[in-house]
């Protein structure tokens, strides 16, 4: 103990922009005065590096462990040896799996001890991806009275549900899923771990979302339904089918503008689909934006056409800004978006998205009902922080 506070070690791979890292930083701010927190990041790099609480003790992965926390582009700054080593390990993982590379890199760091609880804040990666390692680090390199791991994924669908990952999770004392939907997915995969799997929601900086939304907010023309999406441009986000749906509705005579904030591996493919469908005059790609909230403030609706999701941070962001949501029915959608109040949960298909958007276009008063509901809600982290305290301090 230190000053009567429990000593926690929380492990993550980096501090680069992303939902997991954002949730990580927000949690640290919420618990900074209740616990003696040490953070270990494989690579102390990323946009959130300067956002950590000032009293947080930060350790960085030693040796080659930083390879698991940096991209191939980022690793160039570490020198030719690191660049070649990571490239070779990425190739090895694609062919043979990541078990051996992760095990070897984790063991380049000294063992840590003296903690009441050690928390892995990142779930296990799919076996062919050179990613993750936080679970293995906590299990192999940390001595602690309690070992906890977080789940930020739909375990059945994200690609990492394997015999090996099942064995890894069985080694933890407690599993914390960031939504009840994520918890149910995990328990369906590994039912024998049901009794030690709990829900600990994501934390948010609601006041920051609201303040930033007021900084030079985008003013949209009122002659169209202005849809905004903030998402990584990757396959699971369903942007391609969104392009097809919006194009279809516009061809039918509806006035729509779709504003997409974010970047990712699928950007070129999305650009090509926009070109092929002739959608460039009403579907706009803005790339990553330092302040996405200024795009959300005056929009009519937030759209997330994902194929699968865990517990998107952006749902809470949209809700606190009074922005109604249309989402496909993914793992936590019905839990996080009250249908007809916070927005609308549609069938997880292209037709489902089409029908819901068409209904909203024909009945705009439905969005007004949602806006009024959202404006009357209170947004806080009280429940999520309480869940975390219960997790660490024990359950009755």
Query: Rounded to 10 degrees, what is the CA torsion of 329, 332, 333, 336?
Result: 170
Average pLDDT value for residue range 32-46:
93
Supply angle C-alpha 378, 15, 239, rounded to 5. 70
pLDDT at position 1 over 50:
no
- Predicted confidence at residue 47, as pLDDT, reads 85
The burial class, CB within 10 Å (0-12 / 13-18 / 19+), for 231 is buried
- Tell me the H-state helices in the chain: 19-31, 80-96, 99-106, 134-141, 163-170, 180-189, 206-213, 239-251, 267-276, 293-296, 313-320, 333-336, 350-362, 365-375, 382-393
Residue 114 CA to its chain's centroid (Å): 30
Task: Please report, for residues 59, 103, 137, 376, the alpha-carbon distance to residue 11 in angstroms, rounded to integers and kept in the order given.
Answer: 9, 16, 8, 37
- Predicted confidence at residue 131, as pLDDT, reads 87
pLDDT at position 376 over 60:
yes
* CB atoms near residue 382 (< 10 Å): 10
Report which listed range, 12-21, 80-89, 120-129, 293-302, is most confident.
293-302
Residue 299 CA to its chain's centroid (Å): 22
Q: Which residues of 153-169 are buried (b: 16+ CB within 10 A; e: fewer)?
A: bbbebbbbbeeebeebb
Pick the closest to residue 176 from 201, 154, 155, 150 (CA basis): 150
pLDDT tens, position by position, 143-188 = 999 999 999 989 988 888 888 999 999 999 999 999 999 999 999 9
**Contact 314/231 with Cβ under 8 angstroms?**
yes
Q: For residue 306, report the phi and psi dihedrals to the nearest 5 degrees.
A: -65, 150
pLDDT over 90 percentage in the chain: 84
Pick the closest to residue 260 from 279, 288, 241, 235 (CA basis): 288
pLDDT tens, position by position, 200-238 = 999 999 999 999 999 999 999 999 999 999 999 999 999
pLDDT tens, position by position, 52-76 = 999 899 999 987 899 999 888 888 8
pTM over 0.95: no
**Contact 318/302 with Cβ under 8 angstroms?**
yes
Distance between CA atoms of 174 and 271, rounded to whole angstroms?
43
- Predicted confidence at residue 395, as pLDDT, reads 59
- Predicted confidence at residue 77, as pLDDT, reads 83
């Amino acid at each position: 103990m230190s000053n009567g506070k429990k000593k926690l070690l929380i492990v993550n791979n980096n501090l680069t922009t992303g939902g997991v890292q954002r949730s990580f930083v927000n949690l640290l701010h919420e618990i900074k005065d209740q616990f003696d927190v040490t953070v270990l990041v494989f690579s102390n790099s990323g946009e959130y590096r300067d956002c950590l609480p000032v009293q947080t003790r930060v350790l960085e992965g030693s040796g080659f462990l930083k390879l698991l926390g940096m991209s191939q582009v980022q690793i160039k700054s570490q020198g030719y040896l690191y660049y070649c080593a990571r490239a070779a390990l990425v190739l090895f993982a694609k062919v043979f799996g990541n078990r051996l590379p992760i095990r070897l890199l984790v063991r380049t760091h000294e063992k840590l001890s003296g903690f009441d609880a050690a928390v892995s804040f990142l779930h296990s990666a799919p076996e062919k991806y050179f990613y993750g390692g936080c679970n293995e680090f906590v299990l192999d390199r940390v001595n602690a009275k309690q070992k906890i791991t977080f789940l930020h994924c739909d375990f059945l669908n994200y690609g990492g549900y394997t015999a090996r990952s099942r064995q890894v999770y069985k080694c933890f004392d407690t599993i914390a899923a960031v939504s009840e939907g994520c918890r149910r997915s995990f328990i369906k995969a590994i039912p024998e771990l049901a009794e030690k799997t709990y829900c600990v929601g994501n934390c948010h900086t609601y006041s920051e979302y609201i303040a930033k939304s007021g900084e030079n907010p985008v003013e949209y023309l009122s002659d169209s339904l202005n849809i905004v999406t903030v998402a990584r441009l990757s396959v699971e986000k369903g942007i391609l089918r969104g392009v097809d749906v919006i194009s279809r509705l516009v061809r039918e005579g509806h006035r729509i503008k779709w504003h997409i904030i974010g970047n990712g591996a699928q950007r070129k493919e999305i650009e090509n689909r926009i070109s092929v469908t002739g959608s460039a005059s009403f579907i706009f790609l803005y790339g990553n934006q330092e302040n996405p909230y200024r795009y959300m403030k005056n929009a009519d609706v937030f759209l997330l056409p994902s194929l699968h999701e865990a517990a998107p941070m952006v749902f809470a962001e949209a809700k606190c800004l009074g922005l109604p949501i249309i989402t496909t029915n993914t793992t936590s959608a019905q839990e996080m978006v009250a249908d007809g109040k916070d927005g609308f949960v549609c069938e997880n298909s292209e037709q489902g998205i089409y029908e819901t958007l068409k209904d909203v276009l024909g009945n705009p008063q439905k969005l007004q009902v949602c806006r009024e509901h959202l404006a009357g809600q209170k947004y806080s982290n009280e429940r999520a922080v309480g869940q975390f305290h219960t997790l660490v301090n024990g359950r009755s």
